[in-house]
Structure 1
Amino acid sequence: MQELNFPPFKYRLKSKENKVSIFDVIRKKFVILQPEEWVRQHCVHYLINVKKFPKSLINVEKELVINDLKKRYDIVVFNSDGSIYLIVECKAPNIAINQTTFDQIARYNMKLNATYLMVTNGFNHYYCLINYKANRYAFLKDIPNYKSF
């Protein structure tokens, strides 16, 4: 797999029946290594190792229902009170980040009400702070580290 715009991390791979899997430290199992999964795993390790979020506050690939349609978010980071701090939408490295991507995470956030949003394809990362009182959002250079909230 190609190098991404994330710090490198120690990953575990295994091959079975001509399919390569990578170990997910959040789900605690091997998952098929697709390009989007490569980005998701880099992002998970970035959140844990760089941003210092505890693994116990991170959730990966869970279902949510929006307008009677079943969807799956990529990564959610919770606050200690159970509210949602951050939603991350991961795309494969060859997928451009565009308005459709932002619309997708905005739809998820209408249900989840996160404080921060992150969109990444492994090369380009976008961060937003949502201000619900003012009904506004602001793009940021990065999201705060865990200890700063």
Structure 2
Amino acid sequence: MTERASSVEALEAQIARLTQERKDLERQQQRLRVDELKALADAYAAQLKAAGFSIEEGIQALQPHRPAAEPPAPPRHQAIRPAPFVTAPKSQPRPPMDTVHLRAQSVLGSDAIDWLRRPHALLGGMTPSQMADTPQGEEKVLALLTAYARGA
């Protein structure tokens, strides 16, 4: 029986050792997750800064998206507007909004028009189209599109 008792004691000791190793590995895994999260947060902050946004704007953008209310339908007597991607001939300089439309289309594809019309937290709740009406706003919208193109 002593051989069996020592065998049981050896198994119990091995179980205790393995249990402790598992706990140590779980603590190490948790530390690695925290380190990885810090690295991701630092990278996100750097991408925001490179695109001209503040960390506060980035945090706001991470909040759950609330769909914007549909804009009211224009009155029936209003003139028909040209398609949004009509461009000027090459001999004429492009209006700023054309540049934004083309960049949005190249980055977002068929979602570009919807994206340009939807309020965006990183743009202070304005739509990219509204923001692009000013030179500084156009730069912000183009920087945001550049960040999207890079996978931010």
Greater relative contact order (Cα < 8 A, sep 6+): 2
Q: TM-score, normalised by structure 1?
A: 0.27
Normalising by structure 2, what TM-score? 0.27
More helix by share: 2
Who wins on radius of gyration, i.e. which is larger? 2
